[in-house]
Amino acid sequence: MAALRAEWIRIWRNPADTLATVAFNAVLMIGAWFLLPRNWLFEWTGPSGFALALAGWMYADVTATNVLAPDRERVLAALDDRDALGALLAAKAVALWMLIAPICATIAIAVGVVEQDWLFTAVVVVAVALCPFGALAGSSLVGVFFPYHQRSLRWRWEQRARWRTVVVRWLILLVVPYGVFPALSVAIAMVPVVLWRLVRPADVHTRIGTADFALCVALAVVISALMWVAARRIAVSRIQRHEPLAGYLRDRDRG
């Protein structure tokens, strides 16, 4: 709870970081949903898919990947305390979840009121609320292995002679989150979806049934939990055993 409280303080003291990023991605997703053909960017194009798509877009950004450098003082202070380091990383994922999951769950419920499909809506809410944890933990590994300091565009322009580390590396790490979180989400859903396709009747309707969807989500939650545990262990071990990482966090001029 102490780590979560500290993370909330950090988020609200610097709204241009997490809050602005999450809001920007939400605007992008809503614009794409209503202004473009939905099958261009979205797998589930029905009303119930809106909440799932919104959650995915809001999670998929540097707020889920670059978890160390923006909070380097607390990370460096916790280097020798494995429990504190694990709590800090977990708090970052939980705080991001607290910003996004209630909004998406509320939208899913509102859609359920219109569609009058309460069981399917309940399963969508569970999917939005529980499945992202594994993908968030896995996404944070990008920032553990490849962190970068938040510096102004003016500073990066002044340091453009170091284009490989200060410009190119930074630009790549800005784009990577949009692929990492969706890829991990697909990995979580792959086993349940393949299983459903194997056992479904040949004459089943193209729309997945509520019971089948609920079973898929339950299995996805289990896989997400396993991914959460594994990713957290890898992250903590990497941070504590990689001395160059600590040196990088201490020096903001590394870019």
Give the pLDDT confidence of 144-159 residue by residue, as tens digits. 999 999 888 999 999 9
Paired tokens of 126: 């569970």
Residue with tokens 């960017």: 41
With CA atoms as reference, report the closest residue to 17 among 103, 129, 96, 76: 96
The pTM for the full model equals: 0.84
Structure tokens at 86: 């694990």
pLDDT for position 147: 92
Task: Give the range with max mean pLDDT: 110-114, 138-142, 182-186, 188-192.
Answer: 138-142
pLDDT at residue 78 above 70?
yes
**Residues, the chain, total?**
255
Cα 130 to chain center, whole Å? Answer: 12
C-alpha gyration radius of the chain: 20
Spatial distance between the Cα atoms of 69 and 156, rounded to a whole number of angstroms = 16
Residue type at position 241: R
For 16-58, the pLDDT digits (tens) are: 888 988 999 999 999 989 988 888 887 777 777 888 888 888 8
Q: How far apart are CA 132 and CA 181, in angstroms?
A: 9
∠ at Cα 230 (228, 233), nearest 5°? 105
> Which residues have a Cβ under 8 Å from the Cβ of 47 and sit 6 or more positions away?
111, 114, 115
Task: Provide the percentage of residues in the chain whose pLDDT is more than 90.
Answer: 35
Give the number of other Cβ atoms within 10 Å of residue 54's Cβ: 21
Residue 219 exposed, middle or buried by CB count within 10 Å (0-12, 13-18, 19+)? middle
Phi/psi-derived region of residue 42, left when phi > 0, alpha when psi is between -120 and 50, beta in every other case: beta
What span, in angstroms and rounded, lies between the C-alpha atoms of 249 and 209?
49
Computed over every residue of the chain, the mean pLDDT equals 86
Q: What's the token pair of residue 148?
A: 């970068």
DSSP states of 168-188: IHHHHHHHTHHHHHHHHHHHH
Task: Please name which of 92, 209, 186 lies closest in space to residue 135, comparing C-alpha atoms.
Answer: 186
